[in-house]
Structure 1
Amino acid sequence: MTTTRSARVLSGLPRTLALVGALSAPAAAASDVLTPPAFHGTRESPAWLSLRLGNGPSGRAKAEPALEVGAPTWVRLNLSFTATWRRYCARPGVDSCGAYDRLPEEDQLGDTSDFSSSYPYLGLALEAEVLPLAHRPTSVLRGLGFLLAAQRGFSSSDVTLTGDGGQTPVREVDATDTAFTAQAMYRFYFRFGTTRPQQGYVGARAGIQTRAFDVEQSTDNPLTGTHRVFPSVALDLSVPLFSSVRLDASGGLFLSPKPGHSPDADGGRRALEVRDYGTSVSSFGWSAELGVTGDIWGPFGYDVAWRLAHFKDRFSGPGTLTGWNNGGAAEETYSSLHAGLIATY
């Protein structure tokens, strides 16, 4: 018996459709492998936008660390408008102005001086902080740097002299207030926060400061200013309150800020700062500051601060003024409001 084999051949449109189906079957299978399942819910940003290139030991991508707020910068410039008020008093035979004012009226003998600012001394202050190693986060020396500052203000003040003959009329005199600072500093930075870390710091400063108050010289103004050059030390604290607001505070000591320290070119005028009240003087002083700083845009920010500087002088020996037979005391206080702009790099 002979067996005959036969095959059916499709023709026309049915044959064409069958051929297309056969060719598309492998492509569909591949498409099922490459196409992800349908997405339901909120679509996130691609993972590579928030990951660092490269893999960790486990083969997973490393997360990019968040930018630290308040991280130290190389250079910080602060230009501020200032308003300064000054008070000065001098009393014979006592340790402080308050002790003299508490004496019975019949015991208040000798020449006294009182100086107060009728209007604030308006001026400018410029500060520059430099931290050369600030961008080395693993180095303990990144907080090492220096501070340079200068301030100058101008105004008119009322002067009153009181002696055994009574009180002189109030005189209005022009005066200038000038201060310079040059200090080395070190800051220890501490970090807190997880989602958006912030940095604060505690620091110390030491160096040289000057404070000069020049009063207009005239025949009817026997008062002199004060000129001091002295070492100083200070402690600083900066604490972030919010992402763009920081609380800054500092306190310092002035080491022997005696008046009349600077050489004088006009024949010894500054020597009167001591000679009028005694033959020698010992002095001490302190400073305090409280303020806020914050960010405005990019590298620019703002600074608002209230600063105090207080000096106390204790004279001994006879002076040239009436009643200053055995020294006395003088006190000088500067109160300043600073408001300005900060630029960092």
Structure 2
Amino acid sequence: MGEPARRMTTTGCARVPSGLLWTLALVGALASPAVAAAASEPLAPASFHGLRETPSRLSLQLFAGPGNGKKSAPPELGAPTWVRLNLALTATWRRYCARPGVDGCGAFERLPEEDQVGDTSDFSSTKPYLGFALELEALPLAHRETSVLRGLGLRLGVQQGYSSSDVTLTGDGGQTPAREATATDTAFTAQALYRFYFRFGTTRPQQGYVGARAGLQTRAFDVDAAEDTPLSGTHRVYPAVAVDLSVPLFSSVRLDASGGLLLSPRPGHSPEADGGRRAQEITDFGTSVDSFGWCAELGVSGDIWGPLGYDVAFRLAHFRDRFTGAGTRTGWTNGGVAEETYSSLHVGLIASY
């Protein structure tokens, strides 16, 4: 009786592993896609517990992926928008100098005193030109995440400031009495732009960008024509190119920087526009002029609530005009140089869509 029992046990042991092998093979074939998706993570010691966790891991990856999760996942901070409107209060300071017979205002000061001959002009605004700036950016393809054209757009801007200052003219005959001069500083911008966006951060992705701009700009410093003042105005229209960088620092703070070149920003644009008065911007100092300029910006921006944000920036624009030939001012027999610098502080409110 003992031997048949041992044979029955042996036969039963031979049949049970065979059935389990076929069952496990079938289960493995059905579960292989889920296991492959979770292959990067170790399974728990209990095999059935591991199979229960695998579908949840798979569904989480699909939610976060670009194909299935973009409608439900929260938008990335700093993602591009279709329209961005920036209204800012501005404070602008202007510095201006003109020196005969040299290539730079500093070079004139280094000349021997007996060689410092001719009319010179110096202006530095003691009070800022207070005003406003309005900028509009439009990127019509911003929400097409897979398109290389999503960063293509347009920037339009206007800035204007007002102030009055005391002005004096220094020449061979001494210094003229101080006279009050009321002036207006006006700038316009129309540029095409392109931006390349990149992700920054790991907890909640943020977007920064590098970009380029090209187009036309104007800068006009108008002095009240009714006032008898030696202060010189300038009117410029010129092409401009620039590069931009925006890097997220925190969830509501990003660093913005840009630098650009102002190409041939010669003064005296359209001298016939005011009966030839703008022509004096050249004829006072020479017969022709060659100009060059640059601009730079550094600031921070971020989100406040919903579509509203903020922007604080400091901007610089510098122009250098080199004159040749004889001008109408005393001592300007062989040209000279004029330098003009605008320093602006912008504090703005941003609305985006």
TM bucket normalised to smaller? 0.7 to 0.9
Tell me, yes or no, if structure 1 residue 134 matches structure 2 residue 168: no
Tell me, yes or no, if structure 1 residue 287 matches structure 2 residue 295: yes
Tell me, yes or no, if structure 1 residue 301 matches structure 2 residue 309: yes
CA shift digits 1:287-344 (9 cap, x unpaired)? 0000000111100000000000000000000000000000000000000000010000
* Count of aligned positions: 292
Paired AA for residue 226 in structure 1: T
Partner residue of 2:213? Answer: 205
Contact 1:208 1:229 in 2 (8 A): yes
Point out the structure with max Rg over C-alpha.
1
Three-state SS of the structure 2 residue aligned to 1:324 is coil
Tell me, yes or no, if structure 1 residue 239 matches structure 2 residue 237: no
Partner residue of 2:339? Answer: 331
Gaps of 5+ in 2: 1-55
Q: Runs (4+) of structure 1 moved beyond 6 Å? A: 50-54
1:262 equivalent among 270, 274, 287? 270
Three-state SS of the structure 2 residue aligned to 1:265 is helix
Paired AA for residue 239 in structure 2: P
Three-state SS of the structure 1 residue aligned to 2:169 is strand
Contact 1:91 1:100 in 2 (8 A): yes
What is the distance in 1 between the residues matched to 2:160 and 2:185?
6
Shift in alpha-carbon separation, 1:93–1:65, aligned structure 2, 3 A: same
Three-state SS of the structure 1 residue aligned to 2:347 is strand
CA shift digits 1:16-66 (9 cap, x unpaired)? xxxxxxxxxxxxxxxxxxxxxxxxxxxxxxx9xx96999x9xxxx979544
What is the distance in 2 between the residues matched to 1:186 and 1:214?
33
More strand by share: 1
What is the distance in 1 between the residues matched to 2:305 and 2:260?
32
1:70 equivalent among 69, 78, 83? 78
Give 1:263 shift: 4.2
TM-score, reference length from structure 2: 0.79
2:225 equivalent among 217, 220, 239? 217
TM-score, reference length from structure 1: 0.81
What is the distance in 2 between the residues matched to 1:263 and 1:128?
30
Tell me, yes or no, if structure 1 residue 179 matches structure 2 residue 187: yes
**Percent of aligned positions with the same letter in both sequences?**
78
Contact 1:199 1:240 in 2 (8 A): yes
CA shift digits 1:174-221 (9 cap, x unpaired)? 000000000000000011223200000000000000000001224631
CA shift digits 1:110-136 (9 cap, x unpaired)? 001111112000001000000000000
Paired AA for residue 117 in structure 1: S
Residue correspondence of structure 1 range 1-345 to structure 2 within 5 A = 65-218=73-226, 220-345=228-353
Q: CA RMSD in A?
A: 2.0
What is the distance in 2 between the residues matched to 1:318 and 1:112?
15
What is the distance in 1 between the residues matched to 2:126 and 2:252?
36
Gaps of 5+ in 1: 1-46
More helix by share: 2
Contact 2:180 2:229 in 1 (8 A): no
Contact 1:67 1:196 in 2 (8 A): no
